[in-house]
Structure 1
Amino acid sequence: MTAPEDEPGAEAAAPWGNGVSGTVNGTVIQAGRVHGGITVVTGASAPERVVPDQIPPLTVPFVNRRAELALLAADSAPRPHEGEPPGEGSEPHGDEDDLVGDRDAVEVGYRVFFGLPGVGKTALVRKWGRARGTRDRFPDGQLFVDYAGLRGVDGDSAIALARCLRELGVKEEFIPHTLEDRAALYRHHTAGRRLLVVVDDALKAAQVRPLLPQGAGSMLLVTSTRRLGELTLDGARLTPMAPLDADAALRLLADRLGPETVHAHREAALSVVAACGGLPKALDLAAVRLLQRPHLTLPALARELARESNRLRGLALRGGPAMSTVLELTYGELSQEEAGLYRLLGVLPGRTCEPVTVAAGLGLAAQGGEGEAAELLERLFDAGLLDAAEGGHYRMHDLVRAHAREKAGEVEGARWADGVVERVTRALLLRTAQADRALREDRLRVAVLDELLAQAPDPFADGAERERAKRALAWLEAGKYNTLAVLAAAEALGLHGLVWPLAEAQTALFLHHRHVREWLTSLETGARAAAADLAPAGEARLRSLLSRPLLDLGEDERARAELERAAACAEVAASPVLSASVLEFSGRYWDRADPERAVGVYARAVELNAEAGEERGGALAEFFLGRALVATGRAAEALPVLERARDVLRGLGEDDRRMAARAGAALGDAREALGDLAGAERELREAAGELRAVDATYYEAQARERLAGLMVREGHLTAARAEALRAYTIYEEGGSPEAGRLRVRMAALLGEDVVAGE
């Protein structure tokens, strides 16, 4: 299990064992001596299944592609043996026939559509996936993974799996960190479900394979600009998608412009189709031009396209000369401001854009600049040059972006794009730092940003504290991949003094949403930048933070190396508070590698915080120290340490209620280790209630599980069942396989299933 926590520290082990190792699917009973009967009622208290509905709707009407739609209908048709009992009078089969029948019964549809950008692959799968008949065939829901948005992020397959697990109902705190564990949990949650999974814009087979669903009758659809032939080894059917033929393209134009217009000017329409190369994206852009310019006729458009096609015969984007032709005409009719934005979007880092970064890139004044940027974005959207994306963002089609980048190279100076990146990085640093402070004001920060923060009003300043934090977290989440792209672009330009503070500020997101791969990428970039900027305090902070995702991913020795470098940098920075923080992170490593050494590390962190007058930092260090003392058999020493930590944290305010409750749970472990079972029960029960009150259900489940084990030791079996059932419910509703593990252990301890008779 993993959990999102503000500070490092290994969880104490449950006070009773009988563990199950490896990957477990289904019900397992592992027990020593069991008295009484065991009744296993599989799924008796399983919560209602989440039915994901992720495939985005089309923003324009869809026509044609009848052959491809027929293939998809055939792929998803019920299999001969699927859900059917043997017919009356049927003969028994031999072993070989049985295997064939089983394969038919569990077959998963699997097809890859590949072709040029703009040929309509994504529109096809969206159209089919959103159709009512398709939704009926996949009653357990639809998942959608867009790999275009993950370009440049290490571990994109692991990130895609995490997204799918969230949509399948797994709570953030129960999503494993490694690709292998996520894939195993994905298989577990897709088994027994009939799902449609769409993977859009994949570039390699490794991005696709982990997302194959396990449920009988499920289907995996993939779109790609590449053939991905190696997927045929897994059973995929490959289907090339060609541009539309003349009849199909005419039907598309008739749908956009009206059949009477196309019928009246059929020859001109055919000329437009030829100029657009049958690409749906080019035809859509041509239709938008006609609709937005009432005085432009279809014959006039055909003549324009023919002239432009001749002029640009030697210039071709990846989508062919057709896209260059249409985009040149569309670009030529933009206003000066719109054209400037268009060129900017060609070089702006990130897959999507929003007013904050656009205003900065254009150099608009801080006051009112975002509103002006939003209006310009909407105008390009109306022109068909942008698509709407999540979180109030916009997105350019790859072909349009390539053309915009070409125009930027033609019109702007050689260093213009560098200036854009610097302005955007500075603006993003300001907004991210504001969001960071809206989430928590008193967190340790190394970068000094007072002057920057004074330059603009705080957009998160209005409203109640909880509402401000919610808005800030939503903004950080929506833009996380753009921020990673900006970090990479700024590092390439040597803007190190902006990069590492931005990486430090973005950590606020990852402390709340544990996107481990994304956090790793951000921190690695920031640590390199801090080293290049000769900022030892920044490097110490970022390298110590870097140890956390590394430990989560099982890269312990690399985490240790980062911590050693962080300690050396902190010594150069001569900051007791920073040194204490590095020691706390080091303690997490030593909790695993050498618990005795962890005690000394945490004790030194307590001393350094005391020297610096850091009350909260000292309390957190004492919390970790107390747990380490319990783990090394010194529970008596741990009691006063944990009591001080809890009392201080309680007095610091609402933000630290969760940490205070965790200290209380650790006190329960210490008292149990000393044989004070009544005191342990009191501490654990109080801590579990407090954790529930602050919605820290991950830690509540751990506390109640330990409390259930304690109740068994005391012979209070009814109370033990109640606590175990609450912990089981948290795990089950969170989608965690810990539910099965807890159920098995409690069955061994209680002699019955805690879920039975619920």
Structure 2
Amino acid sequence: MDAAQEDSHKNSISGLTRLYGPTVQARDVHGGIHVHAVRDGAAPPPPRQLLPVSAHFTDRCDDLAALGELLTRAGRNTSSRALIVVSGPAGIGKTTLVCRWLRSLSSDFPDGQFYADLRGHSAGGPAGPGEVLDQFLRALGAGALPVDVAEKASLWRSWTADARIAVMLDNAFTAAQVRPLLCAGSSSVTVVTSRRKLTGLRMDGASFRQLGALGTAAGVELFSRAIGEDRVATEPHAARQVVTLCAGVPLAVCLASARLASRPKQPVKTLADALTRNTERLAALEVEGEATVSKALDASYAVLSEGAALLYRRLGLLPVRTFDSRTAAASCGEPLGWAEARLDELVEANLVEDVGPNACRFHDLVQIHAHGRASAEETASAREEALRRVCDWYLETATEAEKRLTPAQFTLERTLVHPAGLPVPFTDDPGALAWLDSQRMNLMALVRAAFQCEWNAMTWQLVDAMWPVFLRLRYYNLWLEAHQVGLEAAQRERNAEAERQMLNSGAIGLSAAGRIDDAAEWYSQSLRAARDAGDVRDEGQALLGIGTCHREAGRMAEARLYLNQAIAVWENCGYPRGAALARIVLGEIALAETNPSRAIEHFNRAHAGLLAVNDPHDAARALAFLGRARVRAGEHTAGAAAMQEALAVFSSSGAAHWQARTLEMLGDSAWERGDTGPAADFRAQAIVLFQITSPTDARRLRDLLAQT
């Protein structure tokens, strides 16, 4: 090959090249490589997570210019990232200002704009850094994520090292809450908003901007945008008085103007007189601006229709972060159309923020006010009923998603006190998974609330219904927390069947997260419980789990002991599928111990048994291992054909993880035979798929490719 031909075959990735999705760079890659990128091969869109900005945004020219100057100043130091803290009282407009500013800079940060509410003053407590890192990394296209927060932070820094992104961390409470979320790139900017000054971030290179109240002229302009310039021109003194009484706090001005806008014939002076009266109910809070906002909230609440006031109170009771019309309907036990109309009224009154498709939320001060009104005006039984109705609706809906996504999964009983009967918000499997994913934090909040209320059955039933989101999307922190809470609830209720379900499902999560010894302990508890209950099938499941844990820990003798016990138990009770699954693990042990003939025996029996019970997925797993064992026994052609046959099954079903496993086995087999080109092809394809399903395996294979 001459020099020109050699240059034409180079594969060079360098400089400012942007790569999207899992990417493999190798020296010699030949043949027809089929790279399956996520989302039908399209580059994942850069995240655009900033909240929408109200059309009533007014003034703040000096603040916008100051933020621009801080960014320019930070940009002069090319070795460090830009970090800006915007602080100010509650309701002063920090979130709106920063969202407006960063949106105007979207072309400067083409790789994404990220947003997270750190909930620094939320009744439910601040957001943990692990939760936010999960959100950010998944938006970038990362697959299964590590459990450890430090590992997540390291991965976040790696992904953002060369990226040009803007990150908004809203409503922070402490500097320590912010630090793990800082990106690494010197071409990026992170903006933090907080009621506190967060001077501790100065050591991280932060610049600071304190946000003050609107001036009278700007406040009047904001006020007039809602009620119209004519009404302000007619009563200019009263308009200035309203702005003064609102202390120039934009949230208070918006609430006041929304109330007046709904009453076109009411004089502005009437509103000013109402705000003058001491009707505040949040004065005990010691954050500047909150008492002012409370006056406006009381005034806005006083003129709501009866139905909207009821919905306002009921939503204020809920632990969820966002809500939609279905949640609203469930909380009041009303039809969907009724809830949509009442929710629109709350949005119009600026009591509820519309933050995206099918998602609304309270400002934290408004949520406190709504909760206070509910506590004052609703009976304890009515408050409890509202929460229970929402729990019931979430349980109904999550169970419908579970039935779609994991139909073979054994489902525990469901106990509904107030069936909502509302239409589910999805019509297909992708929609069901997307709903579970978008609602996972609300579901977890309801799990915690149900547990606190000692609704034990509701607690573990919600956890059980969340199984598909744990299994498919691998939110390890939530998986483990949910099952710990669910297990305690099942034990508290003395429901042995639910207890075993929580132990087994939780143990799978522990094992997947790499906590093998903890998983073995949970399986051991399940084994004792199954034997106490005389549940032979569950006994076999626990034995299989313990055996698998021992194999993963390298304790092969102990693994064989438990796996053979599982086979004996299941064969005695007439459950051949379980026995076949245990034989797959025994075959893997034999392969690891370089005993291919013994492995072939196990895999053959497992494959035949799984075909007999019509389990094509697990039969294909057995077939892939059988092919690998045959290659190790010297039957390369027959073994490769078996692996290709299994690969076709996995490709057809979309089982990405097992496609990757099989491709890796094909690559190993080709390498052992000396076919280095096909080996590199297979391994490259496996890396692409592992990047989505198992980043640890992807790194392991990349290291292997680099060594060869």
- When normalised by structure 1's length, the TM-score is 0.81
Counterpart in the other structure of 1:407? 373
Cα 1:237/1:747, change in 2 over 3 Å:
closer
Letter paired with 2:69: A
The one of 345, 362, 367 aligned to 1:379: 345
CA contact (8 A) 1:623 1:645 kept: yes
| Cα shift at 1:534 | 0.8
Counterpart in the other structure of 1:660? 619
Letter paired with 1:574: G
* 1:422 counterpart = 2:382: no
Counterpart in the other structure of 1:701? 660
Counterpart in the other structure of 2:673? 714
Counterpart in the other structure of 1:472? 432
Alignment of structure 1 residues 194-593 onto 2, 5 Å = 194-307=164-277, 309=278, 319-364=289-334, 369-390=335-356, 392-445=358-411, 447-449=412-414, 459=423, 468-593=428-553
Q: Whole-Å Cα distance in 2 between the matches of residues 289 and 410 of structure 1?
A: 22
Cα 1:78/1:523, change in 2 over 3 Å:
same
Local SS of the residue matching 1:105: coil
The one of 50, 58, 61 aligned to 1:63: 58
Q: Whole-Å Cα distance in 2 between the matches of residues 498 and 601 of structure 1?
A: 34
Counterpart in the other structure of 1:166? 138
Counterpart in the other structure of 1:136? 107
CA contact (8 A) 1:577 1:614 kept: yes
Letter paired with 1:67: D
CA contact (8 A) 2:510 2:518 kept: yes
Number of residue pairs matched? 672
CA contact (8 A) 2:508 2:519 kept: yes
| Deviation string, structure 1 residues 412-463 (Cα, Å, up to 9, x no partner) | 2244323333333333323322222222222123x323x759967695699x
Local SS of the residue matching 2:466: helix
| Cα shift at 1:127 | 0.6
Cα 1:733/1:312, change in 2 over 3 Å:
closer
Q: Whole-Å Cα distance in 1 between the matches of residues 647 and 50 of structure 2?
A: 39
Cα 1:488/1:736, change in 2 over 3 Å:
closer
- When normalised by structure 2's length, the TM-score is 0.86
Letter paired with 1:535: N
- RMSD over aligned Cα, in angstroms? 3.3
* 1:109 counterpart = 2:82: yes
Q: Whole-Å Cα distance in 2 between the matches of residues 624 and 742 of structure 1?
A: 22
Local SS of the residue matching 2:667: helix
Letter paired with 2:48: D
Counterpart in the other structure of 1:122? 95
Counterpart in the other structure of 2:591? 630
CA contact (8 A) 2:527 2:538 kept: no
CA contact (8 A) 1:361 1:424 kept: yes
Counterpart in the other structure of 2:635? 676
- Taking only the aligned residue pairs, the percentage that are identical comes to 30
Counterpart in the other structure of 1:181? 151
Q: Whole-Å Cα distance in 2 between the matches of residues 333 and 424 of structure 1?
A: 26
* Greater CA drift, 293-302 or 419-428: 419-428
Letter paired with 1:434: E
Local SS of the residue matching 2:428: helix
Counterpart in the other structure of 1:18? none
Letter paired with 2:343: L
| Cα shift at 1:484 | 1.4
CA contact (8 A) 2:630 2:638 kept: yes
Counterpart in the other structure of 2:23? none
Q: Whole-Å Cα distance in 1 between the matches of residues 638 and 422 of structure 2?
A: 47
| Cα shift at 1:220 | 0.8
| Cα shift at 1:385 | 1.5
Letter paired with 2:557: E
Local SS of the residue matching 2:172: coil
Q: Whole-Å Cα distance in 2 between the matches of residues 181 and 283 of structure 1?
A: 44
| Cα shift at 1:741 | 5.2
| Cα shift at 1:576 | 1.6
| Cα shift at 1:731 | 5.3
Cα 1:448/1:678, change in 2 over 3 Å:
same
| Cα shift at 1:119 | 1.6
| Cα shift at 1:486 | 1.5
The one of 641, 645, 660 aligned to 2:602: 641
Counterpart in the other structure of 1:16? none
| Cα shift at 1:155 | 8.2
Cα 1:422/1:714, change in 2 over 3 Å:
same
Local SS of the residue matching 1:176: coil
Q: Whole-Å Cα distance in 1 between the matches of residues 618 and 399 of structure 2?
A: 24
Q: Which has the higher contact order (CA 8 A, sep 6+)?
A: 1
Cα 1:479/1:679, change in 2 over 3 Å:
same
The one of 136, 139, 146 aligned to 2:117: 146
Q: Whole-Å Cα distance in 2 between the matches of residues 458 and 339 of structure 1?
A: 22
Q: Whole-Å Cα distance in 1 between the matches of residues 383 and 418 of structure 2?
A: 27
Local SS of the residue matching 1:420: helix
| Cα shift at 1:126 | 0.8
| Cα shift at 1:529 | 0.5
Q: Whole-Å Cα distance in 1 between the matches of residues 543 and 640 of structure 2?
A: 32
Q: Whole-Å Cα distance in 2 between the matches of residues 498 and 278 of structure 1?
A: 46
CA contact (8 A) 2:392 2:419 kept: no
* Greater CA drift, 590-599 or 611-620: 611-620
Counterpart in the other structure of 1:77? 72
| Cα shift at 1:282 | 1.3
* Greater CA drift, 623-632 or 497-506: 623-632
Q: Whole-Å Cα distance in 2 between the matches of residues 725 and 688 of structure 1?
A: 15
Cα 1:53/1:674, change in 2 over 3 Å:
same
Letter paired with 1:136: S
Q: Whole-Å Cα distance in 2 between the matches of residues 652 and 163 of structure 1?
A: 40
| Cα shift at 1:533 | 0.4
| Cα shift at 1:615 | 4.8
Counterpart in the other structure of 2:9? none
CA contact (8 A) 2:282 2:294 kept: no
